[in-house]
Amino acid sequence: MHQVCDPAGRTEVNHTMADHGAAPRPPDAHRPSVQSTARLALVIGALGVVFGDIGTSPIYTLQTVFNPDDPHPVPVTTDNVYGVVSLVFWSVVIIVLVTYVLLAMRADNEGEGGIMALITLLRRSGSRRGRRTTAVLAALGIFGASLFFGDSMITPAISVLSAMEGLKVVDSSLQDAVVPGTAAIIVVLFLVQRKGSAVVGRLFGPVMIAWFGAIGACGVSGIADHPQILRALSPSYALGFLFGHFGTAFFALAAVVLAVTGAEALYADMGHFGRPAITRGWLFLVFPACVLSYLGQGAMILGDPRNVSSPFFLLVPGWGRIAMVVLATAATVIASQAVITGAYSVASQAAQLGYLPRLRIAYTSESTMGQIYVPWINWLLMVSVLTLVFAFRSSAALAFAFGMAVTGTITITTLLFFYVARARWGTPVWLIVLGASVLLSVDLLFVAANATKLVHGAWLPLLIGLTAFTVMTTWQRGREIVTAERARHEGPLREFVDQLHSGRVPALRVPGTAVFLNRGQQTAPLAMRANVEHNHVRHEQVVILSLETETVPRVPAAQRILVDHLGLTTDGIIHVTARFGYMETPDVPAALTMLDPAETEGQLQLDQASYFLSKIELRRGQAPTMAPWRKRLFIATSYITADAAEYFGLPRDRTVIMGSHIEV
């Protein structure tokens, strides 16, 4: 172990492999085969988690496009079938393949992807670019993350409903069982979340491989009956339909976008599986299987326009429909699982970045960091999903709402990506303008088409997104106000330490170690000030601990701890900064064990240390800091904050909580 001192006198404790006697790994003669097996395992894992949403889109996309109950129905004609299938194919190519796989997934934050990763990249570049522009784009990114919560509520409802609707194809008398059956599956799905998906997750990959194999094979059988449908792969049919029948095609886009639902998952889950595994899974299995399914369904509609009622399940031979309903239900449950897990991750990252209160998070796997369970989000999602199922009662009705959440998130991701490409990589302006013009034109066309469905349900994800956006921005603003007010109450830390050292603030030194959790290094902890001023005592060894959340997913152990002696090296008072990534749950006792005894001004008794927390009670004041309704919202949101002692891993029997109040 070695130490590096910065100009401020702080000491960074670095641990290396040499410190632990690690020997170099001997050459492995079978390493190529081991690496190949590892890569295959990653691809299979990605198939089971990443592609569930986009992989189940063929169940309802074409059925929704030609839905006769649509307020802007698409007539079932030969030209329209070719045009719609071509539009679906090229939409998947442009949005999923180009925007996400080829472009967005290159913008990672220490390996992590998703819209929250783009926000952190934007915040990093804020010092080099216009702060106002960065702030506006970051706010836009937060709105995109808010829309993802809407997506997380709608996806389980529409996916499981669409699979259960296959029962009507098997036997029309089973129609009344669709909604209750969907609700039962969803309840079970959310109840088992706390168990974790480590065991079930191993089954996800093989199930999805079977799913993609089945829908691809069914697609091939449909194409064999009407091979002329392969003409739809030509972009001329998509362009001809779009510009030759713009009135019809424009409204059809609101349903065509369902083919790209789940594209954000490819990006958001990149940190779990890596870009190569996701790219291979998409190119070699998911993309071909989905395209074959769409082509097969189009061929079946060409053969008999009445098949638009349920082209996906009618494409399956009669003897295999029950099995397909079971497989589709399993696939949609997996799709729901993926988006639920995504909601946990987004909420956790938002809390770490200061946009949500500290939430209780449980890790459900010892081997996979990304498998987490957030109880508050889980129950909120369950109630919301059940409400949607009973309110809309069919996948077709929910489809109008689904598209707006998807297109909004995709458009914001595209915009943020091009800004990051220019700000961080210095991509030439002409290339940025060219690429952004093409891709954003496509995205905005989809947004405009879905805007026509506002009165038919598209308002729902916008309402959910605006609500989540308001909560997150209000929390961020209220947190800034409370932090400033708290700093005024606490006073400068170094001045307080100097007063203790000089005796101007009398305090009896008692044996033991006290750890005071504090928000930063500039101010004195309220609990420590109260202990000295009211009890007139201080411990022999005092550690003032601040936790910093870095804009990276995880902080290496070698960079975890930073020590500052606060100008004095003999008073037994030190300041420690513990740095964590935004995807990590802070473990205070474990972090303190990394301290070097030579830097702690005496031996710390960590196994008997007392931990002090400052509990703040919020009150609504008269100062014009925020609108009155936002103050009420901020205070109400604070009640879902996780217990600090549990969140930071503090021992209950040695934790002291001292209270105070602050007006906002």
Instruction: State pLDDT tens for residues 619-651.
Output: 888 888 888 999 999 999 888 887 788 778 888
Binning pLDDT at 50, 70 and 90, where does residue 22 land? very low
Binning pLDDT at 50, 70 and 90, where does residue 11 land? very low
Alpha helices in 304-428 (DSSP H): 311-314, 321-352, 375-392, 395-425
Higher pLDDT, 22 or 165: 165
Q: Given this model, what pLDDT does residue 371 score?
A: 59
- CA distances (Å), origin 366, targets 370, 436, 523: 10, 41, 37
The answer to whether the beta carbons of residues 121 and 109 sit under 8 Å apart is: yes
d(CA 554, CA 314): 48
Binning pLDDT at 50, 70 and 90, where does residue 547 land? confident
d(CA 185, CA 195): 16
- Taking the CA atoms of residue 80, residue 83, residue 86 and residue 90 in that order, the dihedral angle to the nearest 10 degrees is -130
The answer to whether the beta carbons of residues 532 and 500 sit under 8 Å apart is: yes
Query: What does the pLDDT average to over 289-298?
Result: 96
Q: Given this model, what pLDDT does residue 264 score?
A: 82
pLDDT for 340 beyond 50: yes
Reference 38, options 258, 227, 273; nearest CA is 273
d(CA 250, CA 247): 6
Q: Given this model, what pLDDT does residue 25 score?
A: 44
Cβ neighbourhood burial of 19 (10 Å; 0-12, 13-18, 19+): exposed
d(CA 152, CA 52): 13
Q: Given this model, what pLDDT does residue 597 score?
A: 83
Q: 234: Cβ–Cβ under 8 A, 6 or more apart, which residues?
A: 86
Binning pLDDT at 50, 70 and 90, where does residue 16 land? very low
Lowest-pLDDT range of 4-8, 90-94, 443-447: 4-8
Reference 151, options 468, 582, 374, 473; nearest CA is 468
Q: Given this model, what pLDDT does residue 24 score?
A: 44
The answer to whether the beta carbons of residues 497 and 538 sit under 8 Å apart is: no
The answer to whether the beta carbons of residues 50 and 265 sit under 8 Å apart is: yes
Q: Given this model, what pLDDT does residue 257 score?
A: 92
From the centroid of its chain, how far is CA 454? 26
Higher pLDDT, 352 or 279: 279
Binning pLDDT at 50, 70 and 90, where does residue 29 land? very low
Higher pLDDT, 185 or 33: 185
Q: Given this model, what pLDDT does residue 639 score?
A: 85
pLDDT for 10 beyond 70: no
Left (φ > 0), alpha (ψ -120 to 50) or beta: where does 29 sit? alpha
pTM of the predicted structure, to 2 decimals: 0.75
Buried-exposed string 516-541: b where 16+ CB fall within 10 A, e elsewhere = bbbbbbebbbbbbbebbeeeeebbbb
Q: Given this model, what pLDDT does residue 8 score?
A: 38
Cβ neighbourhood burial of 561 (10 Å; 0-12, 13-18, 19+): buried
Q: Given this model, what pLDDT does residue 23 score?
A: 39
Binning pLDDT at 50, 70 and 90, where does residue 506 land? confident
- CA distances (Å), origin 623, targets 106, 111, 487, 631: 46, 43, 17, 11
The answer to whether the beta carbons of residues 122 and 419 sit under 8 Å apart is: yes
pLDDT for 32 beyond 60: no
Tokens for 30, please give them. Answer: 């079978």
Q: What is the pLDDT of residues 127-158, one digit of tens each?
A: 555 677 777 888 888 898 888 888 889 888 98
Q: Given this model, what pLDDT does residue 364 score?
A: 60
Query: What does the pLDDT average to over 90-105?
Result: 94
Query: What does the pLDDT average to over 196-211?
Result: 72
Q: Given this model, what pLDDT does residue 181 score?
A: 92
> Could you give the 3-state DSSP secondary structure of residue 109?
strand
Q: Given this model, what pLDDT does residue 239 score?
A: 95
Q: Which long-range contacts (CB under 8 A, 24 or more apart) does 276-280 make?
A: 276/39, 276/42, 277/39, 277/42, 277/43, 277/45, 277/46, 278/46, 278/50, 278/101, 278/105, 279/101, 279/105, 280/39, 280/43
Reference 647, options 547, 554, 551, 556; nearest CA is 547
Lowest-pLDDT range of 294-303, 344-353, 375-384: 344-353
Q: What's the one-letter identity of residue 78? A: T
Element (H, E) at 220: helix 198-225
Phi, psi angles (nearest 5°) of residue 369? -65, -35
Tokens for 404, please give them. Answer: 């707006």
Q: Given this model, what pLDDT does residue 435 score?
A: 94
Q: 314: Cβ–Cβ under 8 A, 6 or more apart, which residues?
A: 169, 300, 307
Tokens for 580, please give them. Answer: 């964590």
Binning pLDDT at 50, 70 and 90, where does residue 12 land? very low
The answer to whether the beta carbons of residues 334 and 205 sit under 8 Å apart is: no
Higher pLDDT, 354 or 26: 354
Q: What's the one-letter identity of residue 542? A: V
Binning pLDDT at 50, 70 and 90, where does residue 80 land? very high
pLDDT for 536 beyond 50: yes
d(CA 286, CA 297): 17
Q: What is the pLDDT of residues 210-253, one digit of tens each?
A: 999 999 999 999 999 999 999 999 999 999 999 999 989 999 99
The answer to whether the beta carbons of residues 88 and 383 sit under 8 Å apart is: no
Lowest-pLDDT range of 27-41, 74-88, 503-517: 27-41
573-581/561-564 β-pairing = antiparallel
> Could you give the 3-state DSSP secondary structure of residue 586?
coil
Query: What does the pLDDT average to over 272-294?
Result: 91
Higher pLDDT, 194 or 308: 308
Reference 442, options 216, 103, 138, 145; nearest CA is 103
> Could you give the 3-state DSSP secondary structure of residue 293?
helix
